[in-house]
Amino acid sequence: MERWTFLMIPGPDGAAIQIRVFLRAGDDPEAWPAAQVAMDGTEVTVDDVAHDYEAPEWKAVQELDAGMGGSGGAARLEQVKVALRARAAG
């Protein structure tokens, strides 16, 4: 079973501006594949900026949808997940 973590990263006004995604593969959190995307769906460098909260996947999709003009969040998040799966496998 896959285990995912979606960390919402706030901007100066407190609203989410990025999502850090982890595929929790294995016992070592330092080895978990990670990606980070801005709310417009663009991939950004994974950093260690403090997150605001851990969101369920539906909330991450909802936030991406809003940032991407109303739709496309689920598809973009699936692209990120496919890439992280590939990194974990290989």
- Domain segments of the chain: what residues? 4-89
Indicate the average pLDDT of the chain. Answer: 95
Tell me the pLDDT tens digit for each residue of 9-43.
Answer: 999 999 999 999 999 988 888 899 999 999 999 99
**What is the rounded CA–CA span in Å between residue 7 and residue 84?**
15
Other C-beta atoms within 10 Å of 40: how many? 12
pLDDT > 90 fraction of the chain, expressed in percent and rounded: 87
What does DSSP say about strands 34-38 and 16-23: parallel, antiparallel, or unpaired? antiparallel
Structure tokens given for 60: 């991450």
- pLDDT per residue as tens digits for the range 41-51: 999 999 999 99
Supply the pTM of this predicted model: 0.93
